[in-house]
Amino acid sequence: MSRIAFIGLGNMGAPMAANLLQHGHTLQVFDLSTDAIATAVAAGATATGSAAAAVVGAEIVISMLPASRHVEQLYLGEEGLLPRIADGALVIDCSTIAPDSARRVAAAADARGLAMIDAPVSGGTAGAAAGTLTFIVGGADDALERARPVLAAMGRNIFHMGQAGAGQVAKLCNNMALGVIMAATAEAIALGVAQGLDAGALSRMMAVSTGRSWATEVCNPWPGVLENAPAARGYQGGFGNDLMLKDLGLAAEAAVAAGTPVPLGELARNLYAMNSQLGNGGLDFSSVVKLVSKHA
């Protein structure tokens, strides 16, 4: 069992930390929100007053923060954690951030003599709570081997995509495809309904035909087609429109950096930005269907 510092106890971090505690690890936690810390303490963690205090004596440091700037601020700079983390400790950043940002922090960790992996996740808050997340990893083989028992306490699948930043690249590629497919599926079902079809019948046909996808079968954007999908509960819960917007922005930045075209990814990014402007940023991203139908 490891002594772990866990920083960032939000929608994802809190249940991930709870699963580590259930597997017998010792957790020293920090979040800017005192409520978030209190929840983790109730689950068995030890509260600390700062990120710097959380990493004292920790063998493993895990961060789960919103975006690149939070991660860079946490580890780099004058007040950054890297000089404070114990020699020989392993750093695991599970946040979804820009690949270049992940590479910058990993290079600084390496210069300090610390092993670090980027391990963004797929599976959402339900996967975090159930301990069934998929970890998409970038970093050295030996660092991943050290991380494996800890990741296994929070997830079911681990994919090693390459060196530092590769986990972030792979995560962005997956989410760019998802964002495009969801928008396309929403448009197709809205067309069918406008032509008089039943959305459920159309979706059931598509689910066994060439238009099938996670968007038709699991997170169908049309209300009432799937009773467990966010669309059935006013698009509450699920994966937020603005988180998809963030990931598509990161994909666009990565595409610019690589000089590669992502025309559909860019179009999808604009669709989710428009949905956000309509006030739907906090709804599940399948609410993008509202752009193409007033009946959704």
- Helix (H), strand (E) at residue 247: helix 241-258
- Burial of residue 290, with CB atoms counted within 10 A of its CB: 0-12 exposed, 13-18 middle, 19 or more buried: buried
List the structure tokens of 29. 């936690």
CB of 82 to ligand NAD, least distance (A): 14
Q: Which is nearer to ligand NAD, 31 or 59 (CB)?
A: 31
- Helix (H), strand (E) at residue 52: helix 51-54
CB of 258 to ligand NAD, least distance (A): 21
C-alpha–C-alpha distance, residues 228 and 169, integer Å:
30
Q: Is 135 helix (H, G, I), strand (E, B) or coil?
A: strand
Q: Which is nearer to ligand NAD, 128 or 190 (CB)?
A: 128
294 catalytic? Reply is: no
- Among residues 5, 74, 137, 180, which is the contact residue for ligand NAD, using CB under 6 A? 74
- Burial of residue 159, with CB atoms counted within 10 A of its CB: 0-12 exposed, 13-18 middle, 19 or more buried: middle
Give the number of other CB atoms < 10 A from CB of residue 145: 10
**Backbone region of residue 91 per phi and psi (left: phi > 0; alpha: psi in -120 to 50; beta: other values):** beta
Query: x/- string (CB under 6 A) for ligand NAD, residues 126-145?
Result: --------------------
- Among residues 2, 4, 6, 9, which is the contact residue for ligand NAD, using CB under 6 A? 9
- Regarding 103 and contact with ligand NAD (CB under 6 A), the answer is no
- Regarding 11 and contact with ligand NAD (CB under 6 A), the answer is yes
- Regarding 243 and contact with ligand NAD (CB under 6 A), the answer is yes
The interaxial angle of helices 263-275 and 241-258, nearest 10 deg, is 150
CB of 294 to ligand NAD, least distance (A): 27
Residues 157-216 that bind ligand NAD (CB under 6 A): none
Identify the CA nearest to 264 among candidates 148, 177, 173, 170.
177
- Regarding 119 and contact with ligand NAD (CB under 6 A), the answer is no
- Regarding 85 and contact with ligand NAD (CB under 6 A), the answer is no
Candidates 65-73, 109-117, 179-187, 204-212; binding stretch for ligand NAD (CB under 6 A): 65-73
Query: x/- string (CB under 6 A) for ligand NAD, residues 268-287?
Result: --------------------
- Among residues 1, 22, 24, 32, which is the contact residue for ligand NAD, using CB under 6 A? 32
Q: Which amino acid is at 146?
A: R
Q: Which is nearer to ligand NAD, 47 or 205 (CB)?
A: 47
CB of 96 to ligand NAD, least distance (A): 4
Q: What's the CA angle centered on 48, arms 79 and 99, to 5 degrees?
A: 50
Question: Which residue is nearest to ligand NAD, using beta carbons?
Answer: 10
List the structure tokens of 76. 């780099």
Identify the CA nearest to 176 among candidates 72, 70, 116, 266.
266
Residues with a catalytic annotation lie at 171
User: Rule CB under 6 A: which residues touch ligand NAD?
Assistant: 7-13, 30-33, 36, 51, 64-66, 70, 74, 95-96, 121, 124-125, 239, 243
